[in-house]
Amino acid sequence: MEYGSIEREIHIEAAPEIVYEVVSTPEHLREWWPDDAELAPMPGATGTITFGDPAKPDATVQALTVVEADPPRRFAFRWIYDDGDAAAPGNSLLVTFDLVPSGAGTLLRFTESGYRERGWEAAVLEEMYRDHVTGWDYFLPRLVGYLDRLVSAP
């Protein structure tokens, strides 16, 4: 199996402008992905996402760095890098949301790459990749469900 990148294409019944807001702003991210998010959607900005109760010691807090913010076409960030390091190719994973108008909706092209470049030993690489496949297979449908509720709300 190749552990190079995770790629998904999803059609969403919402305009690219709405989808962009939902994948790039903390108030929307909290609705479908992490339990908490603090970031500014502008290139070079750093922030954090938290899984679990931020007040509890078992919460997972992960830094991220926005690398591209081109509304309503593309939002990309790097994450999964060591504390104290600046995110860069080779020490982090790159998540990209490409948004393409499609009829009245949006084709979302999701990619998470950089697994091999991290230099992890084979067992760690495989575990991280499989863990992220499972995670994105859970969270991306939540993104679609949240957008469906958002655009159908009165």
Domain segments of the chain as ranges: 5-32+67-152
Whether the Cβ atoms of residue 59 and residue 33 lie closer than 8 Å to each other: no
Q: Is the pLDDT of residue 10 over 90?
A: yes
User: How many other C-beta atoms can be found within 10 angstroms of the C-beta atom of residue 99?
Assistant: 24
CATH no. for 5-32+67-152: 3.30.530.20
Q: What is d(CA 74, CA 8) in angstroms, rounded to the nearest whole number?
A: 15
User: What pLDDT band is residue 34 in, cutting at 50, 70 and 90?
Assistant: very high
Task: Give the pLDDT confidence of 101-151 residue by residue, as tens digits.
Answer: 999 999 999 999 999 999 999 999 999 999 999 999 999 999 999 999 999
Query: Structure pTM?
Result: 0.95
Looking at residue 117, the DSSP 8-state letter turns out to be G
Give the mean pLDDT of 17-39: 97
The pLDDT of 12-37, averaged and rounded, is 97
Predicted local confidence at residue 1, as pLDDT: 63
Q: Which residue is it, tokens 């309503």?
A: 72
Q: What share of the chain is helix, strand, coil (3-state, %, to 5)?
A: 30, 35, 35
- In percent, the amount of the chain with pLDDT more than 90 equals 90
